[in-house]
Amino acid sequence: MILIEILFKISYYLLYFYMLCLIITGILSLVGANPSNPIVGFLNALTSPPCRFLTRKFPRLLVRSQHGYFDLSPIVLILIIGCLMIIIQTIANHLGFYV
């Protein structure tokens, strides 16, 4: 039973870390950070493949404005990850684990 609790905690905190990476990447894109920075490159490499996948599947996530396009796929990913975190917490609580 301890192994199951550890798996729930690891999956929950990995999703939390990924959500933080998405938020930080969004903030850095608004600020206009240098993409040659290793941290920015790591965050872009970590978050851009799922964002590109969502944009390809749902092209309406690109919203056109006067200055170009806004990509709403990180917001959708944050919502999906939040729902997955709630599901993991609910299942763990029903099994008697604390996450």
Give me the domain span that covers residue 79: 2-94
- What are 40-56's pLDDT values in tens digits? 999 999 999 999 999 89
Strands (E), 1-99: 62-65, 68-71
65 pLDDT band (50/70/90 cuts)? confident
Give this prediction's pTM: 0.87
65 sits in the region (left: phi over 0; alpha: psi -120 to 50; else beta) called beta
In a domain, 54, yes or no: yes
**Domain count for the chain:** 1
63 pLDDT band (50/70/90 cuts)? confident
- What are 17-38's pLDDT values in tens digits? 999 999 999 888 888 888 889 9
In a domain, 99, yes or no: no
